[in-house]
Amino acid sequence: MSVSLHEIASKGQIDTFENPGPLARGLPAFAYTNDDFFQLEQDKLFPNSWMCVAYAHDIPKAGDAKPVEVAGRPVVLVRNETGEIGAFQNVCRHRCMKLVDEPKNVGRLLKCPYHAWSYDLKGQLRAAPHFGGIDNQKPDGFNFEDYGLVPVPCGTWGHWVFVNLNGNAGPLSDHVAPLESRIEGIDLDDLKLVGVLDFGEVDTNWKFLMENFIEPYHVPVVHKGTTDQPLQDHYVVMDGKCLGSAVDIDRDGAEGRAGTLNVSSRYLTLFPNFILGRYFPDQLGAYVNLPTASGKTRQYRAIYKTDGVEASEKEADELMKLWWDVHKEDHEMCERMHQGRAATIASEGGVLSPQWETSVRSFQELVFQAVQ
């Protein structure tokens, strides 16, 4: 059983965050580095939220199965014969053996490697060989319908798969609505995948990666070589659990610097872990951020062209390189932000810009509320 927030933090730390004075404070250091705080998030924040865990194109065919870990719990995503993606607790109902340990096509049945209990693609138990003795699958008191895989609420929006472990997060359509309203008429069925960048595990807390995407303040400093988007053209976005920033650029027909990101853009997050970037006129980026420990986050980015446009091989290579470079710049900053939390002064949370980081503060308040 996890400890409470008040066992992790002192009253002074909580008061400093909740009542910061004229300048808003950031979350205190323990919220990023403390393993017990991460366990609070595993117990209280992630299970109560719609978590983006995969891309639909990861499991394109019937029988494709992908194991994921959500809030420390094993979950398996499965595409069934009717094309729907479902999610189940990734354990056999016999002895709770992990069923699927790597992405693969399971055919028509998920079969436990221990005793060959088998489930169809909708989670129904279909075989329990010799469970009641030789050639006896159904001993007295044992009914197949009572021992199917345990479903996990699951939904797909666009090309992205979300799960809600405890089923208390409300409809997925309501969750994505504020983000959907800000991507300005993109037909998500017309997206064309350019490629996926797999960054592996980044040595930082998941919140730093989210906060970094939310605020524009760092852009002209960190990305001065890879972007051409003046800070004065940016503004903050705050719409419930949709937080981020945007930039509108009018160059009067002039081109930005070659090889840089220099177009009007929308940098949007959906609490807690989903990120969507809209780059005019015809590009979209979608991130899967999977918290794995207090100081580690697994991150992927999928790059899409919109409106049914196909990227040429040259353009695809250029986009993959640009976004790899941009992310590596961000990762260095986020890792150093995490390292900085070892300083004693970091217990006060630093201060947030009243112009550029109000959305970061809103994100942090959502985190703080979720774990109390």
**12: pLDDT strictly greater than 80:** no
Q: What is the pLDDT of residues 63-94, one digit of tens each?
A: 999 999 999 999 999 999 999 999 999 999 99
What superfamily would CATH give domain 51-156?
Answer: Rieske [2Fe-2S] iron-sulphur domain (2.102.10.10)
State CA 297 to chain mean position distance. 10
The contacts of residue 63 (CB under 8 Å, 6+ apart) are 78, 79, 105, 106, 107, 108, 121
Predicted pLDDT of residue 306: 93
Question: What pLDDT digit, counting tens, does each position of 325-358 carry?
Answer: 999 999 999 999 999 999 999 999 999 999 999 9
3-state helix, strand, coil in the chain (%, to 5): 30, 30, 40
Domain 175-371: state its class.
alpha beta
Alpha-carbon separation of residue 115 from 36, 135, 138, 265, 324 (angstroms): 36, 14, 15, 53, 44
Taken in order 224, 201, 276, 60, is the CA torsion positive or negative?
positive
Rounded to whole angstroms, the Cα distance separating 336 from 352 reads: 17
Mean pLDDT across the chain? 94
Beta strand spans in the chain (E): 51-55, 64-70, 73-79, 85-89, 104-105, 109-111, 118-120, 125-127, 151-152, 154-157, 160-163, 192-202, 234-239, 242-247, 265-270, 274-279, 283-293, 296-305
pLDDT digits (tens, 9 = 90+) for 260-302: 888 888 999 999 999 999 999 999 999 999 999 999 999 999 9
Torsion of CA 356, 358, 361, 366, to 10 degrees: -130
Q: What are the extents of the domains in the chain?
A: 51-156, 175-371
215-271: pLDDT as tens digits: 999 999 999 888 888 899 999 999 999 999 999 987 654 566 777 888 888 999 999
Instruction: Give the Cβ contact number of residue 329 at 10 Å.
Output: 19
pLDDT at 7 over 90: no
DSSP string of 5-57, one letter each residue: HHHHS-HHHHHHHHS--SSPBPPPTHHHH-HHHHHHIIIIIGGGS-EEEEEGG
Work out the average pLDDT over 147-162. Answer: 97
Distance CA 307, CA 367 (A): 35
Q: Is the pLDDT of residue 14 over 70?
A: yes
Which pLDDT value is given to residue 11? 72
Q: Say if residues 66 and 40 touch (Cβ distance below 8 Å).
A: no
pLDDT computed for residue 251 by the predictor: 60
Tokens standing for residue 18 = 């909740």
